Amino acid sequence: MEDMQAVRAEGDDMERMRRMAAAVLGCALLAGCGASPVELPPAAEDRPVIAYVPLDDRPDNVERVVYLAESLGYELVMPEADDYRTRLRGQPLNSNGTQSGDRGDLYEWVLAQEAAGCDRYILSMDQLLSGGLVNSRSMAEHEDVVLSDGTRTTESQLLEDLLGTLAADGDDQVWLLDSVMRLAPTVGYDHWDLEGYNALRAYGMEARPVLEGEALTLEDIRADYPLSADGTVLEPSAFGLEEWEVTEYLSARTRKLELSDRMMEILQETEAGQFHVLIGIDDSSVEDSIQKNEIAYLRSLLREGDALLSGVDDLAFKAVARLYLEESGWNGGTAAVRYFGGMEDQPACAYDHQPLSTIMQEHLEFFSLTESENYLAAGLQILVLTQPADASLSEVYQRQLIEALQECRQQGLPVILIDAGNGLYGTAFHDKLTEEIELGWLLSYAGFLDMAIVTGTALSHGVARYAFLQKGERTEATEQAFAKTLADSVIKDFCYKNVVREDLLAFVRNDLGGDPDNFWQPEIDRAAVQERLETGMEASVQQVLANLETSNLIASLEPYEEMGWGTVDLDGYRFPWDRAFEIGMDIHLGPFTQPHAELFGIYYQ
């Protein structure tokens, strides 16, 4: 109770300070105070090129990967969007006549990049072999790949030819992104609806016999798919499923695991050190689920430098960051991790298979970071808001984190901020951050989308920026791209996730009688949904944009320097998959400025 009273009293004091600062700020703005522009070098004409085959066409796999790569001085090249696009049920098909990517076109595109002299690759194997992440969960049989001249090749042969071609060039650096199939397919794709998804996920979560040692083989894993932990058959009807649905599901799992196994087999045979395999665990659980033996088997195949980590939609972020760290001569660093909320020893959500602290530690190792208990001695600060262990102390947890952020700001300690609260703080935490913290000063932020990927997303962007500030050559292009990565993450989480999206969900269901997971099933007035999105975002983003536009960002660590953000404008709002789950948007930034001045903790131009 005393803690709560102290928090409220401090909050009242801060509110009085903000009102006083606002009055002074208004006078300063009326007096015409402004920060002069900062001139930065233009982008280098010969930027190193990364050839990238995305997991699919969602923003986390396209726009944000482009931003991250460009913030590190790379140029990212991709195939035509139609070749890696995913369409949900009932939506217009791609030019190849399917809902999924064109495997033949993508294979030939990679070969064309190699012929043109490219030597950096980040390749999604789910896209190249299955036409995207979603389709990889639905392909129950191996299917030949058709090339542009009509030639047909098996998936195994395509793998062998592709990896063999890249292995022939010893200068190539190739990141192969793969995934452990999640517990259930995608709602709105194929024949699956939400009820079917929940039923199949329950079936997949059921514990299977745990295989170890010589028993951990493809054949034994496949044989144990239909069995419970005691070896008896799991009846599909007990989960509300038809026999054919389970057969199709298990066949898709088998195909996916066989392709991953074949990829690792080819890499072992080639002994090519320029390949790096990064496997993500998708939609999991803490139980001994159907994934457990698959994870153990794939882990047994990893070579030195390969990794298997929680999260799939952040795989490209991790690959870009690691590529940069290795090419820039990164020797690792120290990081101080502080949790607020008391739930770091539990999974951040129901879709994680490990505690949050374990996932954090694995990612720190992946990025060669050593955790320091003395946060003042660490070069990098990682602050994490977990779910509240005691809901009555939610205000206390938020206040403690914000005070830690303010201390880091005062001391110039760069911060990666992670909101792993899984929505349990509502909009309150975002509101406090917007009112009291310079959002544009952060190295990175993550909280949007599934909790399973927030750690990898935040660390990929934050560690990459931290290393770039030590090793990189800053240009107008790198700084604009960095600012876009941060703005994109903050705006979507603060403004869309808990505010505009909630309104859209109700609007689509209640006013239009539609399905927020697919605007085409049944067809609804999509123009009305688009208008609702644009109107909602216009109202929701104003305070966050004002914060960013008067923020300073870290421009150098040694010596420590800052520069000011310029204007931030948004347009091009869109639903990439015609569903409400995520949005895309275009971000336009004005020139950076000299550091903004400070009045009572508020920055202005």
Answer for the pair 463, 367: CB distance below 8 angstroms, yes or no: yes
d(CA 302, CA 264): 8
Q: Over range 200-221, report the average pLDDT.
A: 96
pLDDT band at 188 (very low <50, low <70, confident <90, very high): confident
pLDDT at 376 over 60: yes
pLDDT band at 350 (very low <50, low <70, confident <90, very high): confident
601, 445, 517, 452: CA torsion to nearest 10 = -140
Q: Over range 303-328, report the average pLDDT.
A: 96
pLDDT at 127 over 60: yes
The 10s digit of each residue's pLDDT in 501-550 is 999 999 999 999 999 999 999 999 999 999 999 999 999 999 999 999 99
pLDDT band at 34 (very low <50, low <70, confident <90, very high): low
- For residue 599, what pLDDT is reported? 57
pLDDT at 187 over 90: no
Q: Number of C-alpha atoms within 13 angstroms, CB side, residue 498?
A: 18
What's this model's pTM, rounded to 2 decimal places? Answer: 0.93
- Provide the sign of the torsion angle of the four alpha carbons 87, 90, 96, 102, taken in this order: positive
Domain extent listing, the chain: 2-42+332-604, 79-327
Q: Over range 369-376, report the average pLDDT.
A: 91
Q: Do the bridges between strand 380-385 and strand 333-340 make them parallel or antiparallel, or are there none, so unpaired?
A: parallel
- For residue 8, what pLDDT is reported? 46
pLDDT band at 16 (very low <50, low <70, confident <90, very high): very low
Question: Over the range 1-23, which residues count as b (16 or more CB within 10 Å of their CB) and which as e?
Answer: eeeeeebeeeeeebeeebeebee
CA nearest neighbour of 54 among 105, 111, 124, 103: 124
- For residue 272, what pLDDT is reported? 76
d(CA 480, CA 594): 15
* 226 compared with 9, residue with greater pLDDT: 226
The rounded mean pLDDT for the chain is: 92
Q: Over range 252-275, report the average pLDDT.
A: 94
d(CA 91, CA 13): 54
- For residue 29, what pLDDT is reported? 40
- For residue 582, what pLDDT is reported? 95
In the chain, what percentage of residues exceed pLDDT 70?
Answer: 93
- For residue 7, what pLDDT is reported? 45
pLDDT at 274 over 90: yes
The 10s digit of each residue's pLDDT in 421-459 is 998 999 999 999 999 999 999 999 999 777 789 999 999
Q: Over range 64-82, report the average pLDDT.
A: 98
Element (H, E) at 2: helix 2-30
Burial class (CB in 10 A: 0-12, 13-18, 19+), 106: buried
* 586 compared with 18, residue with greater pLDDT: 586
Residue position matching structure tokens 């953000």: 565
CA nearest neighbour of 182 among 137, 122, 152: 137
Least confident of 58-67, 285-294, 552-561: 285-294
- For residue 557, what pLDDT is reported? 95
Residue 279 bridge partners (DSSP)? 178, 308
CA nearest neighbour of 385 among 443, 334, 429, 349: 429
Q: Which two tokens stand for residue 272?
A: 């090519």
The 10s digit of each residue's pLDDT in 542-576 is 999 999 999 999 999 999 999 999 999 999 999 99
pLDDT band at 43 (very low <50, low <70, confident <90, very high): confident
pLDDT band at 264 (very low <50, low <70, confident <90, very high): very high
Element (H, E) at 22: helix 2-30
- For residue 2, what pLDDT is reported? 45
- For residue 13, what pLDDT is reported? 53
Could you tell me the end-to-end alpha-carbon distance of the chain, in angstroms, rounded to an integer?
Answer: 41
Strands of 120-124's sheet in order across? 75-77, 49-53, 120-124, 173-180, 275-281, 307-310
- For residue 441, what pLDDT is reported? 98
pLDDT at 600 over 70: no
